Amino acid sequence: MSNTKELDTLLQSLPSWVETSIPHASSGKVASYIPELSKAPQDALGITILAPDGQSVSAGDCSQVFTMQSISKVFTLILALMDNGEDEVFKRVGMEPTGDNFNSMLKLELVRPGIPFNPFINAGAITVTSLIHGKNMEEKSQRILNLFHSLTGKDNLAYDIDVFNSELESGDLNRSIAYFLKGNQVLIGDVDEVLDIYFRHCSILVQCADLARMGLILALDGEDPLTGTRLLPKRYVQIAKTFMTTCGMYNASGEFAIDVGLPAKSGVSGGILSLVPGRYGIGVIGPSLNDKGNSQAGVHLLEMVSKQMNWSMF
Q: Catalytic positions, please?
A: 70, 73, 198, 250, 268
Residues paired with residue 159 on neighbouring β-strands, in sequence order: 204
Determine the Cα angle at 285 with ends 20 and 118, to 5°: 120
- Under 8 Å between Cβ of 281 and 301: no
The Cα–Cα gap between 95 and 60 comes to: 36
* 280 in a labelled binding site: no
Q: Of 257, 293, 122, nearest to 130 (Cα)?
A: 122
Q: Of 169, 189, 166, nearest to 179 (Cα)?
A: 189
DSSP E strand boundaries for 234-278: 264-266, 271-276
* 159 in a labelled binding site: no
Q: Of 69, 126, 95, 114, nearest to 244 (Cα)?
A: 95
Asked if the peptide bond before residue 52 counts as cis, ω within 30 degrees of 0, the response is no
Q: What is the DSSP letter of 141?
A: H
* 268 in a labelled binding site: yes
The Cα–Cα gap between 306 and 225 comes to: 23
* 167 in a labelled binding site: yes
Asked if the peptide bond before residue 113 counts as cis, ω within 30 degrees of 0, the response is yes
Q: For 156, how many CA atoms within 13 A lie in the half-sphere containing its CB?
A: 1
* 101 in a labelled binding site: no
Q: Of 38, 39, 46, nearest to 22 (Cα)?
A: 46
* Binding-site residue set: 70, 122, 167, 174, 198, 250, 268
* Binding-site residue set for substrate: 70, 122, 167, 174, 198, 250, 268
